[in-house]
Amino acid sequence: MATNVKVVSTDLRTTTVKVTPATYLTEILDKACAKWGLQSDRYLLKHNNKQLDLSNTFRNAGLVPGAKLELITKSKSPSVLSIALALPEREASSFGNQRAVEKLPSDYTIWSVLRYFEAQTFQGKNINITGRGVPQISNGQGPGQLYYETPVLQIEQRSFSTFVDFQKTLSSLGYNSGSVLIRLSFKKTERTLVEAMEYITQYFQGEKEQEKETTARAAERAQPSTSNAESKGITLKADGPAEVDGEPAPQPEAAPTEQVQAEPGAMDVDSAPTGNPLVPVSIFSAPSASTPAAARINEPDEVYEPGLAQLTSRQQFLKTAAQNKRLPSDKEIAEKAAAEAARLDAIKSVDVKVRFPDNTSAQWQFDQSATGELLHRAVRNVMAAQQAPFKLILPGPQHVAIRDDSANLIRTYNLTIRTLVNLVWDDSVPDAARKQPFLRQSAAQRAQAIIVPEVPQVEENEPTPAVPQRSDEPRRDVGSKGTPKWLKGLPGLRNK
What pLDDT is attached to residue 392? Answer: 92
Q: How far is CA 217 from CA 191, 210, 227, 270, in A?
A: 34, 11, 11, 37
| Same domain flag for 32 and 154 | no
Cα–chain center distance at 42: 22
Question: Same domain, yes or no, for 88 and 187?
Answer: yes
Query: Higher-confidence residue: 9 or 466?
Result: 9
Query: Hey, which residues does 4 pair with through a beta bridge?
Result: 18
Q: What is the CATH number of the domain that holds 48?
A: 3.10.20.90
Separation between Cα atoms, residue 100 and residue 183, nearest integer Å: 11
Which domain, by its residues, includes 418? 276-288+347-445
Residues 168 and 114 in one domain: yes
51 belongs to a structural domain = yes
Q: Are residues 85 and 64 in the same domain?
A: no
Q: Per-residue pLDDT tens for 241-259?
A: 444 344 444 444 433 433 3
Asked if residue 340 is part of any domain, the answer here is no
Instruction: Kindly state the average pLDDT of the residues 126-145.
Output: 72
Mean pLDDT of 311-318: 91
Query: Domain boundary at 445, 463, 488, which?
Result: 445
45 is a domain residue:
yes
Per-residue pLDDT at 268 exceeds 50? no
Chain segment 278-314, per-residue pLDDT in tens: 888 888 888 877 777 777 777 788 878 888 888 999 9
Domain identity same for 280 and 414: yes
- Count CB neighbours of 91 within 10 A: 19
Q: Is the pLDDT of residue 95 over 60?
A: yes
Angle between helices 110-119 and 205-222 (to 10 degrees): 40
pLDDT in tens, 66-75: 888 988 888 8
Q: Where among 73, 103, 124 does a domain terminate?
A: 73
Q: Who's near 465: CB < 8 A, 6+ residues apart?
A: 308
Residues 113 and 167 in one domain: yes
334 domain-assigned: no
The predicted model gives 317-328 an average pLDDT of 87
Buried b vs exposed e over 56-81: b needs ≥16 C-beta within 10 Å?
A: bbbeebebeeebebbbeebeeebeeb
Residue of 416, 411, 385, 412 whose CA lies nearest to 401: 412
Total number of domains constituting the chain: 3
What pLDDT is attached to residue 470? 56
Structural contact between residues 224 and 376, judged by C-beta atoms closer than 8 angstroms: no
**Judgement on whether residues 56 and 153 belong to the same structural domain of the protein:** no
Range with lowest mean pLDDT among 8-17, 125-134, 228-237, 348-357: 228-237
The pLDDT tens digits of the residues spanning 40-79 come to 888 889 888 888 888 888 888 888 888 889 888 888 778 8
Which of 163, 189, 215 is the last residue in one of the domains? 215
Is residue 232 very low, low, confident or very high in pLDDT (cuts 50, 70, 90)?
very low
pLDDT band at 484 (very low <50, low <70, confident <90, very high): low
pLDDT of residue 212: 54
In a domain, residue 486? The reply is no
pLDDT at 170: 87
What is the share, in percent, of the chain residues with pLDDT greater than 70? 73
Tell me the average pLDDT of the chain.
Answer: 76
Cα–Cα dist 470/472, whole Å? 7
Same domain, 197 and 96: yes
Q: Are residues 58 and 173 in the same domain?
A: no
429 within some domain: yes
Task: Tell me, yes or no, whether 249 lies in a domain.
Answer: no
Domain assignment present for 113: yes
Pick from 157-171, 289-303, 314-328: least confident: 289-303
Does residue 432 share a domain with residue 284?
yes
Contacts of 245 (CB under 8 A, 6+ apart): 233
For residue 295, the model assigns a pLDDT of: 73
Is the pTM for the entire model greater than 0.75?
no
Distance CA 129, CA 51 (A): 35
Residues 357 and 405 in one domain: yes
Identify whether residues 193 and 103 lie together within a single domain. Answer: yes
